[in-house]
Structure 1
Amino acid sequence: MDLLKSIGVFILAGLCEIGGGYLVWQWLREDKPVWQGILGGIILAFYGIVATWQTAGFAKVYATYGGFFIVMSILWAMKFDKYVPDRYDVIGGIIALIGVCIIYYGKR
């Protein structure tokens, strides 16, 4: 699978999981309408489908997705919750992303 397409799938999966989870969180923790929770659940289910679009096996895909999830969660929080990451958030996110890219994209 071409590198850019693969990264795009990881990003789309991240948006589905983080976005869907955020809507459920908003419904249950912030007293938002029930339709937000339902929509979040549907988006979370779509995440499960999107992840299958990668060509590698389950273990490698989900391990790699974890690093993308870390970075995307920080970016999501910055955008929607006005979160300001400290240097340890940034360093940890970079280390996680480099690590999972070695796992997924390293030549065997």
Structure 2
Amino acid sequence: MLVLRSIALFVLAALAEIGGAWLVWQGVREHRGWIWIGAGVIALGLYGFVATLQPDANFGRILAAYGGVFVAGSLAWGVVADGYRPDRFDIIGALICLAGVAVIMYAPRG
């Protein structure tokens, strides 16, 4: 159950961080304005809070593992939000990152 909770928190964190960064990008690069930027800043702050809810108490481990989630999530966000088409190397790289997440977070420790 803790693993499922952890995975759900990683997904929520990815939505908040990647979504927040995308909103800021849209506000600045696509000239959508301060409301988009402000919403992005709020989402980025929410990401910081969600990361603290992980069952593991080691900040470095959580953020290192989240890096792999961020890589895969960013590619997925690009597909959904921007019509990005990842190539096979993007997909292979994302899968390697997610394998790293699994090792960092869920390997048995004594």
Q: TM-score, normalised by structure 1?
A: 0.97
1:4-83 alignment, distance < 5 Å? 4-56=4-56, 57-83=58-84
Count of matched residue pairs: 108
> What residue is the counterpart of 2:87 in the other structure?
86
Q: How far off its partner does 1:87 sit?
A: 0.4
CA distance in 2, matches of 1:12, 1:99: 19
Q: How far off its partner does 1:84 sit?
A: 0.4
Letter in 1 for 2:81: F
CA distance in 2, matches of 1:54, 1:41: 22
Q: How far off its partner does 1:100 sit?
A: 1.7
> What residue is the counterpart of 1:95 in the other structure?
96
Letter in 2 for 1:97: L
Deviations 1:45-91 (A, max 9, x none): 01100000012210000011011111110000001111000000000
Structure 1 stretches of at least 4 aligned residues deviating more than 2 Å after TM superposition: none
Counterpart secondary structure, 1:53: coil
Letter in 1 for 2:80: K
- Alpha-carbon RMSD: 0.9
Letter in 2 for 1:9: L
User: Gaps spanning 5+ residues in structure 1: where?
Assistant: none
Deviations 1:12-60 (A, max 9, x none): 0000000011000101111002111001101100110000001221000
CA distance in 1, matches of 2:107, 2:51: 19
